Structure 1
């Protein structure tokens, strides 16, 4: 476990395992502990680099609003700082948005991208999920005292009193509209999308997202030569809230990370 001082952000990270680097990006209000159940499976095949995103966990508030784009720049700076050439990146939920922006803004740093339970435009979430996004006010943060995310933050954060600030900044981020469809269609990094079959993301959007990456447009053919570079996995019996605890996630992701890809014809 260590810190890297990068352009005003004191970035916390830890490493486990050895081999090609795999960077894990947690969801909103989370920490590296998000991946505790599945990290050992990845660490048997990869040098796993788990981070606490800006304002989360052990990485203190950066003194600016949280934006997917700026957090992607922060993660890119960490990858360069640590010398993680051609890193693989897996991001979950909010971290999936950061990972997706990383592929858009810093594609030269990535070998493979895995986006777990995150849409490429805000309207990809179910309407009730959008309606339940955190209210960006400190009074709402106070009402969350004693919840598991707040208890974890209080236990590991360098400034536990900043919990209301994290709540407000995250609420502001999640309530901002975005649509990255055109940028996603231009991504050249081999990408895998993973969702639960009872996810917070609409199934129709899962297919739309996959289509933007070149998937689902034609039959692959008997020899598979028409298979797209992108991959789509929908894991049965899971939800947005337990997908990162399931051994099914590394089971489907690891073959994608180790597969030698060939350009689609």
Structure 2
């Protein structure tokens, strides 16, 4: 009888443990889709073709996706933001539906692509929301073209390669890279070049950006430095360094999420963007 009770108790403990939900920061929810656009197409920018789409009307806000990804990752945020803003998404050069040329990938070059798209669309100034590489592109824009950026929400950026963790140790990030291949093959004009694409982006990650505290101190755009409390790619100390170096920058850590916060807790992410866009500065 005692043996039977112990066996039942062990089975209950094992079953209960296996039934525990996986923490959301350890998941990679499906990539969403974008809603129907007001306009979309390919813009000739810097000798390449940049895919873009616009939604809603009002003050413009540009959403910039992370490395290896595409604009579809903003599918949860666009419908809500489009209620009050003209939302613009774009696939970075060589990503998604956009093409590239022989120039090496670089954040300054990709920042100039965003400016080029703004010129094409007749947008003199916009708020910028960036994720990972998109956040770094936004920071580059704030440094070189501050008059074009009304405010900057920079999620999961790093100021130099030393601020990045070894993402190969993260099952979630490796799952993202594998997913990226399927999405690249489905969207890209060069669907068989994913390995070359990853190698070249990885070279950029290993060598850029290289911003000092003095560089960041020159940013005059209203900025929030944002990250996840379980980011598997960005070191917390680098996030705090950037927030401390940029004058009057806000620091926000989103709870119980990782580098893929916009998928893991989409409403939380969207609400944070909305609070940022509605923030009043003196």
What TM-score bracket applies, with the shorter chain setting the length? 0.7 to 0.9
Structure 2: 5+ residue stretches without partners: 1-39
Whole-Å separation in 1 of the counterparts to 2:64 and 2:56? 17
Alignment of 1:111-130 (within 5 A): 111-126=150-165, 128-129=166-167
Q: Which has the larger radius of gyration?
A: 2
Alignment of 1:104-253 (within 5 A): 104-126=143-165, 128-129=166-167, 147-181=178-212, 182-199=214-231, 200-214=233-247, 228=248, 230-246=249-265, 247-253=267-273
RMSD: 2.1
List per-residue Cα deviations over 1:99-140 (Å, max 9, x = no partner).
Answer: 1111111111110111011112221223x33x769xxxxxxx
Whole-Å separation in 2 of the counterparts to 1:256 and 1:167? 32
Describe the SS at the equivalent of 1:179. Answer: coil
Describe the SS at the equivalent of 1:11. Answer: strand
**Residue 28 of structure 2 aligns with which residue?**
none
Q: Decide which moves more: 14-23 or 169-178.
A: 169-178
In the superposition, relative to structure 1, how do residues 122 and 12 fare at CA in structure 2: closer, same or farther (>3 Å)? same
Structure 1: 5+ residue stretches without partners: 134-143, 215-227
Q: Decide which moves more: 178-187 or 88-97.
A: 178-187
List per-residue Cα deviations over 1:35-75 (Å, max 9, x = no partner).
Answer: 11222121122111110000001001222110001111111
Structure richer in helix, relative to its length: 2
TM-score for the superposition, normalised by structure 2:
0.78
Describe the SS at the equivalent of 1:27. Answer: coil
TM-score for the superposition, normalised by structure 1:
0.83
2:74 is equivalent to residue 35 of structure 1: yes
Following superposition, the deviation at residue 86 of structure 1 comes to 1.7
Which stretches of structure 1, 4 residues or more, deviate above 6 A after TM superposition? none
Whole-Å separation in 2 of the counterparts to 1:22 and 1:212? 25
Whole-Å separation in 1 of the counterparts to 2:184 and 2:122? 29
Checking the alignment, whether the CA contact within 8 Å between 2:130 and 2:138 is kept in structure 1 is yes
Describe the SS at the equivalent of 1:76. Answer: helix
Describe the SS at the equivalent of 2:100. Answer: coil
Following superposition, the deviation at residue 255 of structure 1 comes to 1.9
Checking the alignment, whether the CA contact within 8 Å between 1:61 and 1:162 is kept in structure 2 is no
Whole-Å separation in 1 of the counterparts to 2:50 and 2:209? 26
